[in-house]
Amino acid sequence: DTGVSQDPRHKITKRGQNVTFRCDPISEHNRLYWYRQTLGQGPEFLTYFQNEAQLEKSRLLSDRFSAERPKGSFSTLEIQRTEQGDSAMYLCASSLGWGREAFFGQGTRLTVV
């Protein structure tokens, strides 16, 4: 069990650029979640996958955001035309099933300048 892995750990980008983050969940976990956390707040749900199916998206996830989980393994989160308000820690988590413990990766800290 190597835990949830996220890449990159830090990303600085200019406003208007596109960025993509990757998450590798714990291998036997079929649920994968994306959250966003800003300073002083708890993580906010963005979207989740059960295997390769994206089953729920938050209204926080604007059209500029897209997530995929091809073949039910790793997942990517892409943000197009980044805005300064997108600056946050993007967290990926995985779990074995509904209501079970979710384990987080190290997070990707995005700074939009």
Partner 1 sequence: QKEVEQNSGPLSVPEGAIASLNCTYSDRVSQSFFWYRQYSGKSPELIMSIYSNGDKEDGRFTAQLNKASQYVSLLIRDSQPSDSATYLCAANFGNEKLTFGTGTRLTIIP
- Decide: is 91 part of the binding site for partner 1 (CB under 8 A): yes
Place of tokens 């300048």: 113
Beta-bridge partner residues of 77: 21, 67
- Decide: is 55 part of the binding site for partner 1 (CB under 8 A): yes
* Contact indicator for 102, 94 with CB cutoff of 8 Å: yes
Provide the minimum distance between the beta carbon of 42 and partner 1 in the complex, in angstroms, as a whole number: 3
Strand-pair category, 65-68 with 10-13: unpaired
Helix segments in 9-104, DSSP class H = none
Contact positions with partner 1 (CB under 8 A) in 32-51: 33, 40-45, 48, 50
Of 56, 68, 78, 83, which lies in the binding site for partner 1, with binding defined by CB under 8 A? 56
- Decide: is 60 part of the binding site for partner 1 (CB under 8 A): no
Of 11, 29, 31, 69, which lies in the binding site for partner 1, with binding defined by CB under 8 A? 31
Strands (E), 1-113: 5-7, 10-13, 19-24, 31-37, 44-50, 53-57, 65-68, 75-79, 88-95, 103-104, 108-112
Provide the minimum distance between the beta carbon of 12 and partner 1 in the complex, in angstroms, as a whole number: 15
- Decide: is 101 part of the binding site for partner 1 (CB under 8 A): yes
Stretch that binds partner 1, among 14-22, 66-74, 80-88, 97-105 (CB under 8 A): 97-105
